Structure 1
Amino acid sequence: MTAETRPAAPTPDPDLLYSEDEDALRAAVRSLLADRCDPATVLAGLESDVPYDTGLWRALAADIGTAGLLVPEKLGGAGASTREAAVVLEELGRSVAPVPYLTSAVIAVTALLALDHDRPEAAAPLTALAEGRTVAVLAVPLPTAPGGRPEPAVRADAAGVLTGRVTSVADAAAAELLLVPAQGPDGPELHAVEAAADGVRTGTVTPLDLTRPLGHLTLDGARGRLLAAGDRARAAVDRALLTGAGLLASEQLGVAEWCLAETVRHTAERTQFGRPVGSFQALKHRMAALWLEVASARAAARNAADALATGSPDAAVAVAVAQAYCGPVAVRAAEECVQLHGGIGMTWEHPAHLFLKRAKSDELALGSPGRHREALAGLVGLDAP
């Protein structure tokens, strides 16, 4: 049998279970969030002018070391995988924590890792990100989907001077380093720009989800450091968006898990006619149906995280499935949470609205469910004539 006729090795089955190390990481993150990110603290932070909770971020990123999970050990990181980062995002979703973990520790780090990170241009920022000393964001609109990136809105001349405007960049106000895709003289480029540099302005936006601020970036003659050009620049951005979309599903799972658990707790304690309202058949059926959806969302999110971690050839399919499914489940769970809480669920004091806003924002982030269903159809050949 020749190499050409030898059957390909079967793809290993995905591991959807949590390892002991992942459970230990979850316990550490959950303990921190329970102590530092209760609903009252989140609500108080929304009424301030700070872009994110710097104290919580320092504890999460540096003290626990979650900012460096995806960074190799030789650059000061933990050398872990997207499975561990997914666990962190699941817990952050359960708390709607106002920290730039997805944008900085996942998307920006992945973009830099897709480059030659032995070179100082990528190694230095990766080390700073791993240590929690820097927050970086990829300067693309939040709704940008993997593989659906339009022509960059920023232009770069031969001297590396950048001009253009990028709208709706998540955590732009929190960023100290901007990774800016640009159209250069000879094709696509990726530049690193200091957020405080001359010619860089961040305009404020009032988003639906106040726990993940958006900003409009304007670059007017800003100077950047060229990180990559051509296919390598394009591949870095695409890889970052794919990884971000895949792990966003874990955040959506966390949102749905909290909403389901809080709804079950409330309906077990709230009584009408001398009985807990959760004992009414109509409500039991609704919560049981939601439990099934959340369990399926967990499988989809874990599959995406595992496929990205193992470099599976089906990673793009796993990400598309996860995003097409988990986004609507998170929204439905949040809507049920608000409705089954009755009047209190409609108030600012109850945190249910935070989860509904995060779920709706996440549903559009990194591609809508419809966009991912279209991508999935193309990946599996359903759109073929």
Structure 2
Amino acid sequence: MSTESPASTQPDLLYTEEEEALRAAVRDLLTDHCDAASVIVRTESDAPHDLELWKALSDGMGLAGLLVPEAQGGQGATHRETSVVLEELGRAVAPVPYLTSAVVATEALLACAADDLLAELASGRTIGALAVALNVAPGGAYKVVRHENGTLHGELTAIADAAVADVLLVPADDGGLYAVDASAATVTPQVSLDLTRPLAKVALDGAPGRLLGDAEAAVQRALRAGAGLLASEQLGLADWTLTETVRYLKERKQFNRPVGGFQALKHRLAQLWLEVANLRAAARNAAGALATGDDTDVAVAVAQAYAAPVAVHAAEEALQLHGGIGMTWEHPVHLYLKRAKADAIAYGTAGGHRESLAGLVDLPAPR
């Protein structure tokens, strides 16, 4: 399913027919199973994750295994196809652990060559979570637990989607990455701004763990893929908020004319459209670089340096330009603003990525 030629030096930012077909299939599924009203209801409950939707995505469409080679039970696709799925999930603020399990945890297992666990995650019947705080950037320091007499001890906080995970991938102080059955850990929900991607504290008190491989290599590979493909989720979010705002302003009338016809609002929307178009290029470039391995660190840093401000700006504009209805709990725009704000610190801040980029291209860091 690869869409990138091995000899290519310039990633193709355009979508292939196969990618557009994948987008259409995912969007149709989300239209039927992930309407805004149901997502809002879920965020008010004790079980915000939509496991029925997750089953439809993973078991029904096989999307949990896109990054897993066919020999290990996956689809053998690339990060480009995965980025298309994340765009659509971002458009719907879908409460499923796709980024954390099908991307981040899967990439960590690929670094460890844990074929049996890869097959389980690829099937979607097992959900994985890397037990590293969501705010940790690629190359950043992360907390580890103590490994003692074959068991693990310690606490890890801000672990995304840990509440729904079946297996936790835990870095330890001996340098190893361990697979821990989630039932052997105490998982306590934490307050999260993004109600569709809840965080949790994971406490291990003598939990048995299976050594998978080197933690540093696995964690850094996973964080890099997570940061790079998060930009596609942010793109989907920004694109939905822009599209929905334009639609609303065409219908909303003031002084007997559509609000969208006012020149000041046209200028704001035009500026936002340019920002989203640039974000699309940055996100596609990051996905292509992850697929080919060409200048990956630079592409990921560029995408994340740009993605968060655009996604937050798009959501803020949507909230403001929707007027009074945008301030209500019943309208879904608040979900997008919260996801955009939470994504702005996930896998590193924009400022942190700009600083990393400066070092990668040998330029002075921004002040």
- 2:235 is the counterpart of 1:253: yes
The structure number with the bigger radius of gyration is 1
Please list, as runs of the form range in 1=range in 2, the aligned pairs for 1:15-54 lying within 5 A after superposition: 15-54=12-51
Q: Which amino acid aligns with 1:124?
A: D
- 2:207 is the counterpart of 1:222: yes
- 2:361 is the counterpart of 1:380: yes
* Partner Cα distance (2:44, 2:316) in 1: 24
| From 109, 113, 116, the counterpart of 1:124 | 116
Q: Secondary structure at the match of 1:373?
A: helix
TM normalised by structure 2 equals 0.96
Q: Partner of 1:143 in structure 2? A: 135
| From 196, 204, 217, the counterpart of 1:211 | 196
Q: Partner of 1:14 in structure 2? A: 11
Q: Partner of 1:57 in structure 2? A: 54
Q: Partner of 1:202 in structure 2? A: 187
| From 150, 155, 170, the counterpart of 1:180 | 170
* Partner Cα distance (1:336, 1:207) in 2: 22
Asked if the contact 1:51–1:171 (Cα under 8 Å) also holds between the matched residues in 2, the reply is no
Q: Which amino acid aligns with 1:296?
A: N
Identity value in percent: 64
Q: Partner of 1:285 in structure 2? A: 267
* Partner Cα distance (1:12, 1:310) in 2: 9
Q: Secondary structure at the match of 1:109?
A: helix
Asked if the contact 1:146–1:238 (Cα under 8 Å) also holds between the matched residues in 2, the reply is yes
- 2:215 is the counterpart of 1:192: no
- 2:339 is the counterpart of 1:358: yes
C-alpha displacement at 1:149, in angstroms? 2.3
* Partner Cα distance (1:160, 1:124) in 2: 21
Q: Secondary structure at the match of 1:381?
A: coil
Q: Secondary structure at the match of 1:216?
A: strand
Asked if the contact 2:144–2:170 (Cα under 8 Å) also holds between the matched residues in 1, the reply is no
Q: Partner of 1:86 in structure 2? A: 83
Q: Secondary structure at the match of 2:203?
A: strand
Q: Partner of 1:5 in structure 2? A: none
Q: Flag structure 1 segments of 5+ consecutive residues without an equivalent.
A: 1-9, 118-122
- Which contiguous aligned blocks of 4+ residues in structure 1 show a shift greater than 4 angstroms? none
Q: Secondary structure at the match of 1:364?
A: coil
Q: Partner of 1:101 in structure 2? A: 98
Q: Which amino acid aligns with 2:145?
A: V
Q: Secondary structure at the match of 2:27?
A: helix
Q: Secondary structure at the match of 1:292?
A: helix
TM normalised by structure 1 equals 0.92
Asked if the contact 2:161–2:199 (Cα under 8 Å) also holds between the matched residues in 1, the reply is yes
Q: Partner of 1:111 in structure 2? A: 108
Asked if the contact 1:297–1:329 (Cα under 8 Å) also holds between the matched residues in 2, the reply is yes
C-alpha displacement at 1:51, in angstroms? 4.1
- 2:350 is the counterpart of 1:369: yes
| From 302, 311, 329, the counterpart of 2:310 | 329
Q: Which amino acid aligns with 2:158?
A: S
Aligned pair count reads 360
Please list, as runs of the form range in 1=range in 2, the aligned pairs for 1:310-329 lying within 5 A after superposition: 310-312=292-294, 314-329=295-310
C-alpha displacement at 1:125, in angstroms? 1.0
Q: Which moved more, 1:59-68 or 1:41-50?
A: 41-50
Q: Which amino acid aligns with 2:313?
A: R
C-alpha displacement at 1:84, in angstroms? 0.6
Q: Partner of 1:7 in structure 2? A: none
Asked if the contact 1:160–1:226 (Cα under 8 Å) also holds between the matched residues in 2, the reply is no
- 2:165 is the counterpart of 1:168: no
Q: CA RMSD in A?
A: 1.3
Residues 100-127 of structure 1: per-residue CA shift (max 9 Å, x gap) = 000000000000001234xxxxx11111
